[in-house]
Amino acid sequence: MHTSDAAAAATVKFVLEQLRQLRAQTELGPFRVADYESEHLDEPLYALAEAVFRLARSSAGWVVTLYLYCIKPTLHLLCGDLINRLLLAWFAWVLSERRLAYYLATLRESLWPNGVWAGPDPPVTPAESVRRREALRTTLLNYARTHLDVASREVRGRGLTM
């Protein structure tokens, strides 16, 4: 085994041990939704939507008013608990042991593909740079053309012309 392989294995082992100790100390476990029901975890989402609507205020100020006085309270009343539960479930999934192990394995595979230190990428030649730029331009134009075609078909389907 190479020294870099041994160092990588030791690092992964150390991180996993630290995670086990942290879990034992803080008793991280499945989230209990009842502990967070009084918390309004959905408020940042409402604040984000409000900020987006305020940015569009110059052309449609009535949208902000509609959101603030009708949509936001209705969503909070009807879906607040559901949004809180979905956020808690998402955080529990993202921070679960299985996901953390996946993140560590992905990091290890990124830094040590096939157990060998990846090292720096070779420098890009000017010809390769031009080829990549042209490929990117072609891909973006095809992507935009496809989406514009779909949008124009939807508009025409409603009886409107572009």
Q: Could you read off the pLDDT tens digit of each residue along the chain, which spans 162 residues?
A: 556 667 777 777 777 777 666 665 544 455 555 565 556 667 777 777 777 767 665 566 666 677 777 888 887 778 777 777 788 888 888 888 899 999 999 999 998 888 888 888 889 999 999 999 999 999 999 888 887 777 677 666 665 444
Query: Residue 132: what pLDDT?
Result: 94
Euclidean distance between the first and the last CA atom of the chain, given in angstroms as a whole number: 65
- Together in a domain, 132 and 115: no
Domain range for 69 is: 3-122
Say yes or no: 151 and 95 in one domain.
no
Task: Tell whether 66 and 137 lie within a shared domain.
Answer: no
Cα distance between residue 115 and residue 110, in whole Å: 10
d(CA 95, CA 89): 10
Same domain, 7 and 65: yes
Number of domains in the chain: 2
Please name the residues in contact with 115: beta carbons below 8 A apart, sequence gap of 6 or more: 5, 8
pLDDT the model gives residue 162: 44
The answer to whether the pTM exceeds 0.75 is: no
